[in-house]
Structure 1
Amino acid sequence: MNKIGIFFGTETGTTRLIAKKIHARLGDELAAKPVNVNRIEPADLLAYDALILGSPSYGVGQIPGHAAGCLESNWAEFLAKMPGGTPLAGKRVALFGLGAQERYTERFASSLRKLHDVLLGYGAEIVGDWSTEGYTFEHSASVIDGRFVGLVLDQRTQGMHTDARLDAWVAQVRPLLVEKIEQAA
């Protein structure tokens, strides 16, 4: 596809809201409308060469899904339908995740790392890491070499920073995702 695909898993609707904010920043010309992964099949996601994928944090650093306590299907159920091998080889993926740094300070946004690792195993090229500066938490599995594996947002205690963080992150990943679309064209 010649657009950026935006897909998300959500339980409370917050990840959906952030996906819509990202879409608004990219515009209809560049990005497809965000879609919940519980409404698609893998072929729908695999049709895109450039992707933005969003995840809530659920369970104890688990990929969100029924086993992690989600009431609706989420990333775990979607990933169970993915074909074997490296179906994301040649795809460029930017990740964003939500978490609550004060409530879950010992595992802040750790679900994002699990999704990151699965996607790497599927052959994805992950872009869009994010600074841990300005956050307060004890531990996050989503930190590699001092940076989050993607944009991390805390709507509960730092919602006032969301728009600025989205603006900066979208400015960072947009050229990388557009480059991939242009390469694939």
Structure 2
Amino acid sequence: MGMKTGIFYGSTLGTTEAIAAQIGEKLGISAGDIHNVADTDISKVRDYDCLILGTSTWGSGELQDDWYGFADKLKAENLSGKTVALFGCGDSAGYSDTFCDAIGVLHDDLAATGCRFVGSCDPSEYTFDSSAAVQEGKFVGLPIDENNEGNLTADRIERWTARLKTELS
């Protein structure tokens, strides 16, 4: 990939952090370019052409806690010319009506920043009732369900990162 890419994630139990590392490995992104939003200054996003943002979904469709302050600052950044890809973790069985909502929240938060979104996914491969992350018939990013479909995670990451490589080239 010709674009300088950084991964920014929020993780409470470590699942989203692990997924961020797997995505980084597939895309050849060094550990130094993978940032936990809990302890990262917003100015770091300016170092990258492409931002891969990851959040788990909590409660009734909320962002992971560490994202609240960071997302507010990110919304205030001028992201014109930047490419954004989203991924998130959710529970399609226990929270079937808000499955991976948080990636939809991030998408909507950043819609007015001037960035270009890539990495949408086909929802037909998932079992859930509804999600704020499905817009215009597609997930706005990569949904991961380690609770119920962990056996599919590696393949989903493999296919998503392969698509990102073409969308980012």
Cα RMSD of the aligned pairs, angstroms, is 1.9
User: 1:81 and 2:73 equivalent?
Assistant: yes
Offset, 1:46:
2.1
Instruction: Point out 4+ residue stretches in structure 1 off by more than 4 angstroms.
Output: none
What is the aligned counterpart of 1:158 among 142, 149, 153?
Answer: 149
Letter of the 1:51 partner, please give it.
Answer: L
Offset, 1:172:
0.5
Letter of the 2:35 partner, please give it.
Answer: V
Offset, 1:110:
0.8
Q: Identity of aligned pairs, percent?
A: 38
Contact 2:74 2:110 in 1 (8 A): no
Q: Unaligned stretches of 5+ in structure 2?
A: none
Choose 1 or 2 for highest CA Rg: 1
Deviations 1:131-182 (A, max 9, x none): 11221111111111221100001000000000010000000011222x3xxx
Provide the aligned length of Structure 1 versus Structure 2.
168
TM-score, normalised on structure 1? 0.84
Deviations 1:2-21 (A, max 9, x none): 52111101111100000000
Structure 1 or 2: more strand by fraction: 2
* 1:152 partner SS: strand
Letter of the 2:46 partner, please give it.
Answer: L
| Aligned residue number for residue 5 of structure 2 | 4
User: 1:63 and 2:63 equivalent?
Assistant: yes
Q: Unaligned stretches of 5+ in structure 1?
A: 66-73, 180-185
Offset, 1:32:
5.1
User: 1:119 and 2:110 equivalent?
Assistant: yes
